[in-house]
Amino acid sequence: MFRITYIQDYLIQSSMRFITVSFLLLFAPTLFAQGLNRQNAILLIQQGDMRMRAADLQAAEQAYTSAINADADYADAYMKRASLFQIMGRYTESLQDYNRAIAINPYSEYIYDNRAKLKILALDYKGALNDINKAISLDSENARFIEHRIDDLIALGQYEKALQDIDTLISKQFNLENSYEKKALTQFLAGQLDLSLQSIKSLLEVNSNSAIAHELKGLVHLKQENYQAAIESFSTAIDINPEFALAYYNRALAYRYLDELEAAKEDLKTAITISQDDSKIHFLQGLIKKEEGDFKGALAEYDQAIEMDSFYIDALYNRAFILKYMGDYTNAMRDTELIIKLEPESPQQWNLKGNIQVLFGDYREAINSYKEALNLDPNYAEAFYNRGLAYKMSNQIYEACSDFEESIRLGFSRALQANKNICGN
């Protein structure tokens, strides 16, 4: 019995060896070709990396594309080209390559992390959070991934969750200076000003020469309306780093609140010399010029800000206001319509639209716009007053007087004279 079993085992093993050898002989050319394809793809990626270091992006793209053509199942080739497209601002193509890389290798935490960075640039914060959570689930000990998630949580306004992650990094002693910077900033954004000051103190204990720490302290003072203290903090940040454009900008804000406009303009001039493509600097210059009565100058600054950031809501709003004031109602309405598309739930924008419609004589449409504003904010006293004027111009006196009375009840003083003149009250 033992002998028969031994012979059977031997025959089975011999048959298996024959099948294995036959299989290898049958598929050897294919396996060999696949190996060559992968080697060619690796060489092409190396060429692409060299071209990237030489800042020859077009040649790098050609090399990475050739690597993909050489081995369409090589996730790294898609990753490389996706990163290049991201640098070039070609976000849709970059996302397609990241998606393909993940389809090939769904267990690479690094692909998820890189795709999350792209989604943040594309303002898809929820999608980015999903990706970074996936990366962390694949490598829960990677502090860099937690750091990236913090940025996404801050962008989403999920400050408490961000602070939990920051405390995790601090407990790991990971990049303490940066961690305290983010903690102070997050607490500031969450309105926790005293806690933010405590984190700034911890930050200065890590690096007593931190310009960012003094910049953050200035922001806290600015929020507390302690403008002189804010100026002192921003000045310290500038002394440490004379190229700190944001500190000049924020100090200009503080000077403006103190009505020291010449000092504010001087800081903005310095800020724009350092950072020429910062839309908010032009916006603040526009505000100051408007306050000085230079409406053409203000308009030019708002134009600059919007040219740099076509979705800059505050700049669009202020430009619409200036255009309305200057009698250019058509372009004022153009800006207002764009703002409402961007912020359909803003009562202020609907109120502005109603004001422009009144100037056009479109009283019925203006009344509808004021209704939208009041639906969004039932205590919007100015909108009641403006709608009252539109009702009066439409000869709907009862409705006008009702709106004036509501506006007065909500504390809008200009409604008192209108109520007296129109309604006799």
Q: What is the pLDDT of residues 372-393, one digit of tens each?
A: 999 999 999 999 999 999 999 9
Task: Give the rounded percent of residues in the chain with a pLDDT score beyond 90.
Answer: 81
Segment 306-311 mean pLDDT: 91
Average pLDDT, the chain: 89
Asked whether residue 20 carries a pLDDT value surpassing 90, the answer given is no
More confident residue, 35 or 324: 324
Question: In the chain, pLDDT over 70 holds for what percent of residues?
Answer: 92
Of the listed ranges 14-18, 125-129, 151-155, 279-283, the one predicted with least confidence: 14-18
* Dist CA 210 CA 203 (whole Å): 8
Residue 322 or 23, more confident: 322
Record the pTM. Answer: 0.74
Whether 100 shows a pLDDT value over 70: the answer reads yes
* Residue 196 pLDDT class (50, 70, 90 cuts): very high
pLDDT at 33 exceeding the cut of 70: no
Structure tokens at 135: 């990366």
At residue 277 the predicted structure's pLDDT band, cuts being 50, 70 and 90, is: confident
User: Does the pLDDT of residue 271 top 90, yes or no?
Assistant: yes
pLDDT value, residue 185? 96
> pLDDT at position 373, please?
95
HEC assignment per residue over the chain: CHHHHHHHHHHHHHHHHHHHHHHHHHHHHHHHHHHHHHHHHHHHHHHHHHHHHCCCHHHHHHHHHHHHHHCCCCHHHHHHHHHHHHHCCCHHHHHHHHHHHHHHCCCCHHHHHHHHHHHHHCCCHHHHHHHHHHHHHHCCCCHHHHHHHHHHHHHCCCHHHHHHHHHHHHHCCCCHHHHHHHHHHHHHHCCCHHHHHHHHHHHHHHCCCCHHHHHHHHHHHHHCCCHHHHHHHHHHHHHHCCCCHHHHHHHHHHHHHCCCHHHHHHHHHHHHHHCCCCHHHHHHHHHHHHHCCCHHHHHHHHHHHHHHCCCCHHHHHHHHHHHHHCCCHHHHHHHHHHHHHHCCCCHHHHHHHHHHHHHHCCHHHHHHHHHHHHHHCCCCHHHHHHHHHHHHHCCCHHHHHHHHHHHHHCCCCHHHHHHHHHHCC
Give the pLDDT band of residue 28 (cuts 50, 70, 90): very low
| CATH code of domain 345-425 | 1.25.40.10
The mean-pLDDT minimum among 195-204, 230-239, 339-348 falls in 339-348
Instruction: Tell me what pLDDT residue 34 has.
Output: 55
User: What ranges do the domains of the chain cover?
Assistant: 345-425
Average pLDDT over residues 172-179: 95
From CA 291, how far away is CA 289, in angstroms rounded? 5
State pLDDT tens for residues 35-86.
678 888 899 999 999 999 999 999 999 999 999 999 999 999 999 999 999 9
pLDDT above 50: residue 30: no
Whole-angstrom Cα distance, residue 54 to residue 227? 47
The mean per-residue pLDDT over the stretch 233-244 comes to: 97
